[in-house]
């Protein structure tokens, strides 16, 4: 039996800034995971990923990242996605600094 | 030092203009990412976890003060105020924006620096002994030949699309500080019948399949070097595997075909290659040798040094740990530690870079080196200048007295930055250094090299650490494997895996048990960790690491 499909978001890096971005339901790219469109259906996820891949002028390296649903919407399930969402642990740089300001 | 000629300047200007146009075409949509990626990699531009990263070559680890100041400028103007020095004598900027990178490259070109071939399947930055030209056990300064190799390999049309990256290291000294046996090609200067030449080592490398290089030629005369290197590269280019990225390095080619076969093929290739060299390379080499001639060392009293050493314990601790004997009387080689306890190994702020540049200019014949151990070296400082130099270092957080000790840790950027990483390295290094500083044990423990990689690609050289730490992803959790007994010197040895890995919370206590275990096991204070390991074997060290296993067995 195929494994059940777990919720995903489409994530990538922005072409110009290189930072982490997430695809929203209204076809924007957001810096906030909380705004990401949560994809619960495999066929739809593939379709949304294809759509992201077509936006080569804006994004690089789009892929599907697994999420779980928490109090503020989607949250990472893997530590790599947690770090992408936060920034490095040795300096207060990256997303953690942007959210704070 | 080598000074760029008009040819070098024109070449670099043209190359940077090409890349600027490529970036513009990527931004305006004329180039896809698939088309752009190999172009950006050829110019040292990666896309990492949080941002782009620019990797700048510091050929054979040598910089002058103007170059160091320019590195500081880049850090300040286009990054977040710091840079990260790497195990391949490069500097990495972690936060540039794509549009700014052409300007960064132009700024580098102003001082004769570039990012060419710091990535991609090409011949990478040629590395060398960071004490080159300053130590007594040296046949010759390896940097002239490293510069020759840099010029020969830069944009070499035959070697722009190798099966995989290719790394060359050179040493002129008896003691190998350049890890030559863990490079695709390692060159050791040797003498035969009074004539200088090279021992050529091939097929070393760390990564997924660590291998110690094998000697392919015991003695190669100086004028045969470039045609011989071309022959090795040509054989690898033809024979090396392209079907599997993980089997594409020359170490696998050598391993699968045997060193004898590779040697035969190289020797067969050599005569035709040799015939194409008309001697211009030797003319250039002679010029480079003149360019790298030692500065005029002065003769002066070292009384000031002796007084400070006798009266100031902080200075004494630093001098006893961070200085190395220089070949000229009255001089020292100064290692500036970029490993302050709790800080990121290899990072320097723009301000620190400027301070080091100023010190090099004032006291160090305008020379700086970057070591593969991620520290900065002032290779030529007169002892009488050391107290003043140390006072300035202290003011800027650069006077940590820990060179060669447990907190002088090599760590790759790991998953804090790197897109390939499977776990973090930096926090582990920070915690180990902080812990042993709290214990006030590191001078008692003595020489001990801990090297940490955040994935099996082994940029942190964990296989050749006396204690190696490899960060992995085990079922979605960071997990750290320990290897023991590795050595990156002339006695190069791949460390042996100690046993099951440890979680991020368990790894620092595990290292502490291991090191305290060593203190109990050593014969006397003179017996280093590595010596004790070699004498006793792995068993007592594993017992210290895994006390539960010992209890279970009892």
Looking at the partner chain, which of A18, A83, A87 has a beta carbon nearest the beta carbon of B52? A18
Residues B338 and B375 in one domain: yes
Do the domain assignments include residue B218? yes
Share of chain A above pLDDT 90, in %: 89
Q: Considering only CB atoms, which chain B residues are within 8 Å of A91?
A: 80, 344
CA distance A71 to chain B (A): 22
Q: How many CB pairs under 8 A join A and B?
A: 73
Q: Is the pLDDT of residue B344 over 70?
A: yes
Interchain proximity A57–B29, CB inside 8 Å: yes
Model confidence over B237-268: pLDDT tens digits?
A: 999 999 999 999 999 999 999 999 999 999 99
Q: How confident is the model at residue B143 (pLDDT cuts 50, 70, 90)?
A: very high
B539 CB burial (10 A radius; 0-12, 13-18, 19+): exposed
Q: How confident is the model at residue B234 (pLDDT cuts 50, 70, 90)?
A: very high
Interchain proximity A93–B95, CB inside 8 Å: yes
Model confidence over B347-358: pLDDT tens digits?
A: 999 999 999 999
pLDDT of residue B481: 98
List strand residue ranges (DSSP E) for B311-365, in order. 323-325, 331-336, 347-349
Strand partners of residue B451 = B410, B468
pLDDT of residue B92: 98
Model confidence over B13-41: pLDDT tens digits?
A: 999 999 999 999 999 999 999 999 999 99
CA distance B164 to chain A (A): 22
Model confidence over B420-478: pLDDT tens digits?
A: 999 999 999 999 999 999 999 999 999 999 999 999 999 999 999 999 999 999 999 99
CA distance B161 to chain A (A): 23
Q: Considering only CB atoms, which chain B residues are within 8 Å of A17?
A: 51, 97-98
Q: Is the pLDDT of residue B66 over 70?
A: yes
Q: How confident is the model at residue B552 (pLDDT cuts 50, 70, 90)?
A: low
User: HSE on the CB side for A76, CA within 13 Å?
Assistant: 14
**Helix ranges (DSSP H) in B90-196:** 101-110, 143-153
CA distance A77 to chain B (A): 8
Do the domain assignments include residue B401? no
Q: Considering only CB atoms, which chain B residues are within 8 Å of A57?
A: 27, 29
pLDDT of residue B548: 82
Mean pLDDT of B91-118: 97
Contact status of B80 with chain A (Cβ, < 8 Å): yes
Q: Considering only CB atoms, which chain A residues are within 8 Å of B80?
A: 91, 93
Cβ count within 10 A of residue A73: 14
CA–CA distance, B257 with B255 (Å, rounded to integer): 6
pLDDT of residue B550: 59
Q: Is the pLDDT of residue B554 over 60?
A: no
Q: Is the pLDDT of residue B225 over 90?
A: yes
Contact status of B489 with chain A (Cβ, < 8 Å): no
Q: Is the pLDDT of residue B8 over 80?
A: yes
Contact status of B475 with chain A (Cβ, < 8 Å): no
Model confidence over A28-70: pLDDT tens digits?
A: 999 999 999 999 999 999 999 999 999 989 999 999 999 999 9
Residues B333 and B419 in one domain: no
Share of chain B above pLDDT 90, in %: 98
Last residue of a domain, one of B356, B372, B395: B395
CA distance B354 to chain A (A): 21
pLDDT of residue A72: 85
Residues B280 and B186 in one domain: yes
CB B249 within 8 A of CB B263: no
Nearest chain B alpha carbon to A14? B51
Q: What is the CATH number of the domain that holds B336?
A: 3.90.480.20
Q: Name the nearest CA neighbour of B410 among B479, B489, B468.
A: B468
Residues B533 and B432 in one domain: yes
pLDDT of residue A100: 66
* Phi, psi dihedrals of residue B546, rounded to the nearest 5°: -120, 70
Residues B139 and B287 in one domain: yes
Nearest chain B alpha carbon to A12? B49
Residues B537 and B437 in one domain: yes
Q: Is the pLDDT of residue A92 over 80?
A: yes
Residues B539 and B424 in one domain: yes
CA distance B188 to chain A (A): 38
Residues B140 and B287 in one domain: yes
Residues B278 and B139 in one domain: yes
Interchain proximity B47–A13, CB inside 8 Å: yes
DSSP state of A14: E
Q: Is the pLDDT of residue B526 over 60?
A: yes
ipTM of this predicted complex? 0.96
pLDDT of residue B434: 98
Mean pLDDT of A5-17: 97
pLDDT of residue A101: 55
Structural domain that includes position B467: 410-553
Q: Name the nearest CA neighbour of B491 among B459, B464, B457.
A: B464
Q: Considering only CB atoms, which chain B residues are within 8 Å of A94?
A: 50-51
The pTM assigned to this predicted structure is 0.96
Q: What is the CATH number of the domain that holds B487?
A: 3.30.413.10
Nearest chain B alpha carbon to A59? B33
Tokens 């203190």 sit at which residue? B519
Last residue of a domain, one of B242, B260, B291: B291
Q: Is the pLDDT of residue A4 over 90?
A: no
Overall domain count for chain B: 4
Interchain proximity B427–A13, CB inside 8 Å: no
Mean pLDDT of B384-389: 98
């Amino acid at each position: 039996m195929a494994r059940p499909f777990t919720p995903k978001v489409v994530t990538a890096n922005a072409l110009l800034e290189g930072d982490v971005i997430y695809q929203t339901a209204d076809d924007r790219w957001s810096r906030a995971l909380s705004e990401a469109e949560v994809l619960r259906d495999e066929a739809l996820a593939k379709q949304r990923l294809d759509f992201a891949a077509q936006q080569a002028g804006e994004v690089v390296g789009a892929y599907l990242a697994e999420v779980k649903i928490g109090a503020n919407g989607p949250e990472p399930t893997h530590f790599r996605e947690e770090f992408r969402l936060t920034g490095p642990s040795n300096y207060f740089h990256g997303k953690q600094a942007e959210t704070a300001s | 030092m080598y000074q760029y000629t008009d040819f070098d300047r024109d070449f670099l200007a043209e190359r940077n203009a090409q890349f600027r146009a490529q970036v513009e075409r990527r931004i305006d949509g004329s180039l896809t990412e698939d088309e752009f990626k190999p172009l950006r990699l050829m110019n040292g531009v990666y896309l990492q976890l949080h941002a782009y990263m620019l990797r700048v070559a510091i050929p054979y680890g040598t910089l002058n003060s103007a170059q160091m100041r320019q590195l500081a400028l880049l850090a300040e103007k286009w990054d977040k105020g710091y840079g990260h020095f790497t195990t391949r004598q490069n500097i990495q900027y972690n936060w540039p924006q794509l549009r700014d990178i052409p300007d960064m490259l132009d700024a580098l070109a102003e001082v004769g620096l570039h990012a060419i071939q710091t990535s991609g399947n090409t011949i990478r930055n040629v590395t060398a002994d960071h004490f080159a030209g300053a130590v007594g056990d040296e046949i010759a300064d390896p940097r002239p030949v490293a510069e020759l190799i840099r010029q020969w390999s830069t944009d070499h049309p035959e070697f722009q699309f190798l099966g995989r990256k290719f790394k060359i290291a050179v040493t002129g000294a008896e003691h190998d500080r350049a890890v030559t046996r863990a490079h695709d090609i390692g060159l050791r200067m040797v003498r035969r019948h009074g004539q200088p030449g090279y021992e050529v080592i091939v097929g070393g490398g760390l990564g997924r399949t660590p291998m110690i290089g094998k000697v392919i030629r015991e003695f190669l005369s100086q004028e045969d070097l470039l045609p011989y290197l071309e022959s090795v590269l040509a054989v690898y280019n033809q024979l090396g595997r392209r079907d599997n990225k993980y089997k594409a390095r020359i170490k696998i080619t050598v391993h699968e075909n045997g060193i004898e076969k590779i040697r035969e093929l190289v020797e067969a290739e050599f005569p035709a290659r040799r015939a194409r060299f008309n001697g211009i390379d030797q003319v250039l080499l002679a010029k480079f040798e003149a360019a790298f001639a030692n500065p005029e060392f002065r003769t002066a009293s070292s009384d000031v040094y002796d007084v400070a050493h006798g009266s100031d314990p902080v200075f004494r601790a630093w001098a006893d740990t961070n200085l190395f004997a220089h070949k000229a009387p009255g001089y020292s080689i100064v290692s500036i530690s970029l490993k302050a306890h709790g800080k990121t190994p290899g990072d320097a702020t723009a301000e620190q870079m400027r301070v080091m540049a100023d010190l090099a200019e004032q006291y160090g014949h305008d020379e700086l080196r970057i070591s593969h151990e991620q520290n900065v070296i002032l290779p030529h400082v007169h002892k009488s200048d050391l107290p003043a130099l140390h006072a300035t270092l202290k003011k800027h957080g650069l006077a940590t007295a820990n060179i060669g000790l447990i907190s002088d840790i090599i760590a790759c950027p790991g998953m804090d930055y790197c897109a390939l990483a499977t776990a973090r390295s930096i926090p582990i290094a920070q915690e180990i250094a902080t812990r042993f500083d709290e214990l006030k044990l590191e001078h008692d423990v003595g020489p001990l090299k801990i090297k940490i990689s955040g994935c099996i690609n082994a940029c942190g050289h964990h296989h050749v650490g006396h204690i190696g730490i490899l960060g992995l992803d085990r079922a979605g959790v960071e997990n750290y494997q320990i290897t023991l007994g590795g050595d990156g010197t002339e006695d190069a040895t791949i460390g042996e895996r100690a046993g099951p890995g440890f979680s991020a919370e368990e790894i620092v206590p595990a290292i502490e048990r291991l090191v305290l275990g060593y203190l109990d096991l050593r014969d006397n204070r003179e017996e280093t960790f590595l010596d004790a390991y070699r004498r006793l074997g792995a068993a007592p060290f594993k017992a210290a690491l895994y006390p539960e296993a010992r209890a279970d067995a009892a």
